[in-house]
Structure 1
């Protein structure tokens, strides 16, 4: 994997700007594996004794794996807000899979795994990785060489999946289309672009992602909102740019997803 990935998932991470307790290292996969892998990420934290650092993430429509000294899990897509509490001094080794990979690795549809997880050792392609990953990370959680070795272990397993099939490529393309086109605001637009009926699209994303097409669009808009709230754009202008009919609907969506209003998030990020 490349030595560092760009910090392109920060908009999904509702990080408190005052929180300096952790660092996240990132690495991109080789091009040949990108139909299955998006990136590896390695958080390393040192939280003062007696304190806790809650991390809140508006997850992308993908599955993850995360190994720490305490647990090792294969994590389904989270339709809500993902929260993790960091304590003490430790590390994690994580992998963000491509949208198509989740159901293939899980061995079936993702509806039942959405918002949940299973033990990594129960996933056939990934079984046996926990111990060597922990041994490597213990040698130096902040070291590039350690990160590269850990990523290589995962890459070797994922390479065994072989080339993606037609449906795998379609799932990746649908998610990429939604994530990269702010003008795509209606499920009907997505159906038209891929020549699918709405029911067929619903069945496909439900089975392969554990999510609905409407959720994909809402989540993209929330990620855009998080980006905008870190800048100096007026809230009303941001709501209009994101396609909301009025600011109250924008406020409702952000508060429902994050527990905070756009104004509260903006103040925290802009003053932090």
Structure 2
């Protein structure tokens, strides 16, 4: 039981979706380049950007969450995303006494999560970073192709990308390519055509990345996609901030 909702207009530049999950059993979650702010039955926590599969704990109960667009979570959390990589951090640990107060509020009123995000959202926009994320998400073959005509120096932009997204452009490209494979899997006739559709060099390339990012072979992972809480990619065509 998992449902996504479009965020209100005031959040759309920073938030990909609001979501709700019944939280029954355990769900393997594979990397998608996003950070989430999540309200569980007994805590409020941030799920950092993953570099490998993560399995939710059994008996978690209902979960309410906000999924940030890649690169935008620091605008709300006020912490570099790479400090949260492969981490689950409670809001009091992140924000101290203020985080404890927000936790009490959200545990009693989970529906206020969107309002909390809106109250903490800053206007720190980075168009160059957004453009780089969009190019990597939608299928450039190499990071160098995405960086080729950007005015900002490559070294500086790579550093900004890591701080905002949680890992470097090369890792994000691998994650985005896997998510393209997830989206293409239902219509692919075999793994070779799936690799081609997702932008891999060949099936062996797909196999290597799939093993590292999901902990399974493509033959194991893709036929059993339904139990996986894996979010399909969406082109990062960002709405104009208002």
Q: Taking structure 1 as reference, are residues 96 and 267 closer, same or farther at Cα in structure 2, changes over 3 Å only?
A: closer
Paired position in structure 2 for 1:264: 220
Paired position in structure 1 for 2:131: 173
Q: Take 1:100 and 1:127, find their aligned partners in 2: how far apart are those partners?
A: 25
Aligned residues: 224
Paired position in structure 1 for 2:8: 30
| Contact persistence 1:98–1:172 (CA under 8 A) | no
Q: Any residues of structure 2 matched to 1:234-253 within 5 Å, and which? A: 234-253=190-209
Q: Gaps (5+ residues) in structure 2?
A: 227-242
Among 60, 65, 71, which residue is 2:32 paired with?
A: 60
Paired position in structure 2 for 1:192: 148
Paired position in structure 1 for 2:165: 209
1:131-184, CA deviations, whole angstroms, 9 ceiling, x for partnerless residues? 3333345xxxxxxxxxxxx1xx233333334662342x44333323322x22x1
1:128 counterpart SS class? helix
- Which deviates further from its counterpart, 127-136 or 248-257? 127-136
Q: Any residues of structure 2 matched to 1:14-163 within 5 Å, and which? A: 23-46=1-24, 53-87=25-59, 90-124=61-95, 128-136=101-109, 150=111, 153-161=112-120
| Contact persistence 2:207–2:218 (CA under 8 A) | yes
Moved over 4 A (4+): 122-127
Q: Take 2:54 and 2:133, find their aligned partners in 1: how far apart are those partners?
A: 19
For residue 65 of structure 1, report the CA deviation from its aligned partner: 1.1
TM-score (norm 2): 0.80
Q: Take 1:198 and 1:54, find their aligned partners in 2: how far apart are those partners?
A: 40
1:93-129, CA deviations, whole angstroms, 9 ceiling, x for partnerless residues? 1111233432233333222221113221344586533
Q: Taking structure 1 as reference, are residues 235 and 133 closer, same or farther at Cα in structure 2, changes over 3 Å only?
A: same
Q: Gaps (5+ residues) in structure 1?
A: 1-22, 47-52, 138-149
Query: Which structure has the larger Rg over C-alpha atoms?
Result: 1
Q: Taking structure 1 as reference, are residues 54 and 62 closer, same or farther at Cα in structure 2, changes over 3 Å only?
A: same
Q: Take 1:106 and 1:166, find their aligned partners in 2: how far apart are those partners?
A: 14
- Which deviates further from its counterpart, 247-256 or 115-124? 115-124
Higher relative contact order (CA 8 A, sep 6+): 2
| Contact persistence 1:229–1:265 (CA under 8 A) | no
| Contact persistence 1:65–1:96 (CA under 8 A) | yes
